[in-house]
Amino acid sequence: MQLESLPNEIFLDIFDYLSLVNLHQSFKGLNQRINHILQSLNHRSIQLWSTNEKNEIDMHIFFAASIASIDINDECDVNLNQYPKMHSLTYTYATESQVQHFLLSKFCHNDLKYLNVTSDDLSLLFKYMFSNKFSSLNQCILRNIDSLTTCPWRITPSLHSVTVCSDENIIPSILYSCPNLKNLSLFIFHYSSTTLTSFIYHSHLKRLTIEMTEPAWTVQAIHMLFSSTEIPHLISFRIFSYEPSLIPFNFVQLMDIFNRRLPNLRRFKCDIRLSKGVETMNLKIIRDLHSFLFIYLKFEYQSDGILRIYTDNFEDSIKLKENPQYSIIHYL
């Protein structure tokens, strides 16, 4: 039996094990049939760098019609219009011209499902992002965004997962704009200490993660957060802060907030710090407050005397509780 006698399905199975570089070097140009099979591959990904290598440029052009995921790693000039099957796009660091080109490449906006962009200023992209122009977008990660409150927020029903790095608290704006959002992860440089003037109700959010540099997380800050936002179906809440607090972290009050505002909460994960000399409750008393939410908390006194309160191996503990047969080896 000769290689050419194999059906197309066998070729496709074989090609799934090979990289685009190997496919281009070994099979491209053998005959029209092989070329057609190569260019009909699905769900392939590619990383793009600025290059003058002719073979690499030819490879990008040859496989462009079959690429579903693109990771742009530098300032290379990429024509997104040549990737009709693109569903995932990542910019390691987007230049202004790259962002503008993406906004003009409207052909891909309806089919794009995943977008990850880091740049100095994403205000233009952010205005477009939340204008319901991406009918299929399911997850977006946006870093280094300025002046978000001036954006014309509109409803974006397709978004289920959002990760944002910003300089202020934009939770209400995102919740309002994304009614079907399930996962929200924020890195905030400065969390506002003033109570929000508007009240937001969101019935779909399941998981909320907030990391912030300053001020430090306190029970008062958590109370302020959930006094202006009602998220009754939240099942996972994670907080991380890098600034030590001068205010004691009262887990009794925290439990009261959870009982009143988050009746369905099943997972609480934290990494917070208390300044030297700030008193806290006994770890056993904290764990006894709830049979599950606080059971995985740990204390660690750092070299500068700051007390770190954190959740260790939380995800592994969840799996062990839900499935006694589960082990770290299985997980890895």
Q: In this predicted model, what pLDDT tens digit does every residue of 271-315 receive, in sequence order?
A: 999 999 898 889 999 999 998 899 999 999 998 999 999 997 655
Could you tell me if 82 and 138 lie in one domain?
yes
Q: Would residue 260 count as lying in a domain?
A: yes
Q: Would residue 273 count as lying in a domain?
A: no
Could you tell me if 22 and 96 lie in one domain?
no
Could you tell me if 61 and 19 lie in one domain?
no
Q: Would residue 152 count as lying in a domain?
A: yes
Could you tell me if 202 and 131 lie in one domain?
yes
E-assigned strand segments in 40-178: 44-48, 67-72, 88-91, 114-118, 139-145, 161-166
% of the chain residues with pLDDT over 70:
86
The pLDDT tens digits for 32-66 are 999 999 988 888 899 888 876 788 888 888 998 88
Q: Would residue 298 count as lying in a domain?
A: no
Q: How confident is the model at residue 266 (pLDDT cuts 50, 70, 90)?
A: very high
Predicted model pTM: 0.76
The sheet with strand 67-72 has its strands ordered as: 44-48, 67-72, 88-91, 114-118, 139-145, 161-166, 183-190, 207-214, 236-241, 267-274, 307-311, 297-301
How many Cβ atoms sit within 10 Å of the Cβ of residue 71? Answer: 15
Quick one: pLDDT at residue 71?
A: 93
Q: What is the 8-class DSSP label of residue 1?
A: -
Domain that holds residue 253: 46-265
Quick one: pLDDT at residue 50?
A: 82
